[in-house]
């Protein structure tokens, strides 16, 4: 059976993807292969960061693998925060500070269109493939909802009148940028 590493430590994500692959591929996490390394995301695009992570695993462990990079792009801010989404306000992963910075920078702006973008880099039999997914929407004036993480409390997906943070995980996962990219990856793998 072919083995494939998902460059994550998140067991829930791993289980979710495993359930969608038809069983011809054994999915492994970074924990499964003993990778505790902190892979620096030094790229300036989602493609570069996803590629850095997947190529690192492929080079170090000689295994097929995939990695993703995601972020929020706001039109009025020329695509910011983009690849810096997790550390937009400085400290990595300070969601409240990141949201505050976005809301402050958008103050008085009429154009609040934005999108979440995910890019997956897959290395399969030595060749690299990319899969992308986006979720279009707008940035709310203020937070709403308590579920989700990151910018979910201020992102309202197109066609909805609730934020990602007001949706159930199942509902969000049906329309999210990551779900769309993962569907493309899984279709590719199931065709192998």
The domain containing residue 45 runs over which residues? 2-190
Does 10 show up as a binding residue in the annotation?
yes
Alpha helices, DSSP H, located in the chain: 11-20, 46-61, 95-105, 169-175, 177-190
Spell out a b/e string for 3-18, using b for 16 or more CB atoms within 10 Å of the CB, else e: ebbbbbeeeeebeebb
Q: What is the pLDDT of residue 148?
A: 79
- Say how many domains are in the chain: 1
Does 11 show up as a binding residue in the annotation?
yes
CA angle 23, 28, 29 (to 5 degrees): 140
SS3 91: coil
Q: What is the pLDDT of residue 2?
A: 85
Q: Is 69 a catalytic residue?
A: yes
Q: What is the pLDDT of residue 14?
A: 79
User: Is the per-residue pLDDT at 129 higher than 80?
Assistant: yes
Q: What digits encode the pLDDT tens for the residues 155-171? A: 999 999 999 999 998 89
Does 8 show up as a binding residue in the annotation?
yes
Q: What digits encode the pLDDT tens for the residues 71-108? A: 999 999 999 999 999 899 988 778 999 999 999 999 99
Does 94 show up as a binding residue in the annotation?
no
Q: What digits encode the pLDDT tens for the residues 4-45? A: 999 988 777 777 788 777 677 889 999 999 998 888 889 999
Sheet of 127-139, strand order: 25-28, 2-6, 65-74, 113-124, 127-139, 155-157
Does 13 show up as a binding residue in the annotation?
yes
What CATH number is given to the structural domain containing 43? 3.90.950.10
Choose the catalytic residue: 31, 32, 37, 69. Answer: 69
Does 178 show up as a binding residue in the annotation?
yes
Q: What is the pLDDT of residue 151?
A: 95
């Amino acid at each position: 059976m072919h083995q494939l590493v998902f460059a994550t430590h998140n067991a829930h994500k791993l289980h979710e993807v495993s359930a969608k692959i038809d069983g011809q591929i054994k999915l492994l996490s970074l924990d499964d292969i003993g990778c505790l390394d902190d892979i620096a995301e030094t790229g300036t695009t989602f493609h570069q960061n996803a590629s850095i992570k997947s190529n690192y695993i492929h080079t170090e462990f000689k295994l097929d693998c995939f990695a993703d990079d995601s972020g929020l792009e706001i039109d009025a801010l020329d695509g910011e925060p983009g690849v810096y989404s997790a550390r937009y306000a400085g400290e990595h992963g300070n969601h409240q500070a990141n949201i505050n910075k976005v809301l402050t920078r958008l103050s008085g702006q009429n154009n609040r269109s934005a999108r979440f973008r995910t890019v997956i880099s897959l290395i399969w039999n030595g060749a690299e493939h990319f899969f992308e997914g986006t979720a279009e929407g707008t940035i709310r004036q203020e937070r709403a909802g308590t579920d989700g993480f990151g910018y979910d409390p201020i992102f309202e997906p197109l066609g909805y009148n609730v934020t990602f943070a007001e949706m159930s995980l199942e509902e969000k996962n049906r329309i999210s940028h990551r779900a769309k990219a993962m569907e493309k990856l899984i279709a590719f793998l199931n065709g192998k």
